[in-house]
């Protein structure tokens, strides 16, 4: 099975926990997993986050966090020779939170060894930044790809 098909099945088989809740607006964007499309995703998330009761700074935090997640997926795609894979970003809006799922077919997300410091691993800095910018982060990864779920609460 090709990575793009595995990604689609992953998305269909493991819907967001908000998928069955009434009153949830969801926006999904699919782009090639290439650097030139990270900006497109950032702009889309900017528009979605502006629909909620977030401050300007909170909207920028969300945009930056999503951009970092997408940039990491692009890096993995290049490393694993999967530049032709898709990046799927699904954002769901409720009255009190924004949930963003970023799915890629770029391969397994590897954790840095325990003895690697933030100073020597730029990816660790990005991971730390993401956890500081949103309220919850959940990462699942296998050989087909990675799913990063970000939650930012309003108010």
Q: Where in the chain are the domains?
A: 3-11+24-153
Neighbouring C-alpha atoms within 13 Å toward the C-beta of 47: 9
Between CA 131 and CA 126 the distance in angstroms is 9
What pLDDT does 96 receive?
A: 87
Biggest alpha carbon distance in the chain? Answer: 46
Share of the chain above pLDDT 70, in %: 75
Query: Quick one: fold of 3-11+24-153?
Result: Heat Shock Protein 90 (3.30.565)
Q: Are 63 and 46 in contact (CB under 8 A)?
A: yes
pTM (two decimals): 0.78
Please report which confidence band the pLDDT of residue 127 belongs to, taking 50, 70 and 90 as the band edges.
Answer: confident
52-77: average pLDDT? 93
What pLDDT does 76 receive?
A: 87
């Amino acid at each position: 099975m090709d990575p793009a098909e595995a990604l689609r099945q992953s998305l269909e088989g493991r819907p967001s926990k908000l998928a069955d809740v009434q009153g949830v607006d969801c926006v999904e964007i699919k782009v090639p997993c290439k650097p030139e499309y990270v900006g497109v995703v950032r702009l889309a998330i900017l528009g979605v986050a502006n629909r909620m009761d977030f401050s300007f700074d909170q909207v920028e935090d969300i945009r930056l966090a999503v951009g970092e997640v997408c940039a990491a997926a692009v890096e993995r795609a290049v490393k694993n020779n999967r530049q032709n894979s898709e990046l799927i970003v699904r954002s769901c809006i409720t009255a009190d939170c924004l949930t963003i799922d970023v799915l890629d077919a770029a391969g397994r997300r590897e954790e840095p060894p325990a003895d690697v410091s933030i100073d020597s691993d730029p990816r660790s800095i990005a991971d730390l930044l993401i956890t500081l910018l949103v309220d919850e982060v959940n990462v699942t990864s296998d050989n087909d790809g990675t799913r990063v779920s970000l939650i930012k609460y309003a108010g």
